[in-house]
Structure 1
Amino acid sequence: MKDVDYRKIEKAVTMILEAIGENPEREGLIDTPKRVAKMYAEVFEGLNKDPKDYFKTVFNENHDEVVLVKDIPFHSMCEHHLVPFFGHAHVAYIPRDGVVAGLSKLARAVETTAKRPQLQERITSTVADAMMDMLNPIGVYVIIEAEHMCMTMRGIKKPGAKTVTTVARGIYEHDDVKRAEILSLIKMT
C-alpha cells in the first residue's frame, strides 16, 4: 500500500496557483495546498483497496432470484481532467446456489472503485467483474448514471447532461427478458 505524499501535492498545488497568476501566500489561499492534499488522500483512497475484498464473505440464503441495490450515490474524479463526476449506480445479480453477499458490499464495491482517478466505463466493468469473479453468480448487471463536471464547467458546458454506462455479465449478456426485468425494477420508486 503506497502512502500519499502530502508534501508533494502541496508543492504541486502551490505551483498551479502561481502558474495561473495567483498569490499562494494571500489569506484565502495560504492553507489551500494543505487542504487539497488532505482532500486528494480522501477522494483517491480507493487506489489502495480492491473491490473484490468485499465479496470474500458470503451467506447461503437459498435465494435464486434477482438481488438489486439501486440508487447507490457515488462521486469520482475524471482521470482526464481531475474534476469530479457523480451520480448513482444500480447493481443487480442473480445468485448461484443461493450464495449471496451482504447488501452493503455492493455499495462498498462501487464506492471503492470510484475513489480513484477514473472513467465511468471502468467503474461499471470493474464492479461487475469483481462480482463475477468472487460470487460466481448466474449474472450481473451494473448501470451507472453520472454527471461529469468536465462537460459542465469546461468544454461543451452542458450542465445536467448525464452519461449512462451498462455492463451485463452472465445470463444478462443474452437474455433480453432478464435485462428488461432489471430496467423495470430500477424505474420503480
Structure 2
Amino acid sequence: MKLHLHPTVEDHRIAWLAAAAVSIHILEALLPSPLPGLKPGFANVITICVLCLYGWSTAAWVSLLRVLVGSLLLGTFLSPTFMLSLAGALASLLILWPMTRLPGRGFGPVGYSLAAAMAHISGQFLLAWGWFVPHAGIWRLFPVLLSFAVLVGLVNGIITQKVVKHLHD
C-alpha cells in the first residue's frame, strides 16, 4: 500500500519560511557570544513576520521546525541547548497566541517581538532554574538577560516592521 501525500500551498510556505529561519539560526550559532546561548535572535524576525502575514498557527510551525531542524543540523538535538531553545520557543508561542486574539487592532510587529523576546528568556530561565541549575543565585543573571531580550526584541521588532511594510507595499 502506497501512501500518497499531497502537500498544500501552505505546506510549501511553511517549509520555505522554516528553511529561512533555520538558515539564520545556524548562522547565529556561529557568532561568538559573551554568555552561552546569548544570541540576537534574528531567526525570530522570520517568525514574527509569519505571525503578522499568515497567523499564529503558521508561525508556530515555523518556530518549532526551526528549533527541531536547527538542533538536528547543529548536533544539539535533545541536549540542554535544544531543551532551552524549545522552552523559549514554546513560551514565546504561548504569549503570542492570546496576543493575536485580542479585539481591535491588537499588537504590531514591535509589540509581538518584545513580548516574544521576554517570554523566550523567561521560559529558558524557568527551565534552567528548575532543571539544570536549581539555585537561587541564577536569578541574579535574569535582569541582565531580560534587559538584553528587551533590546533584541525591540531591534528585531523594528526590522520585522520594515519587512512587513515592504511586503505589503
TM-score, with structure 2 as normaliser? 0.36
More strand by share: 1
Q: Which has the larger radius of gyration?
A: 1
Task: Work out which structure has the larger RCO, using CA pairs closer than 8 Å and 6 or more positions apart in sequence.
Answer: 2
More helix by share: 2
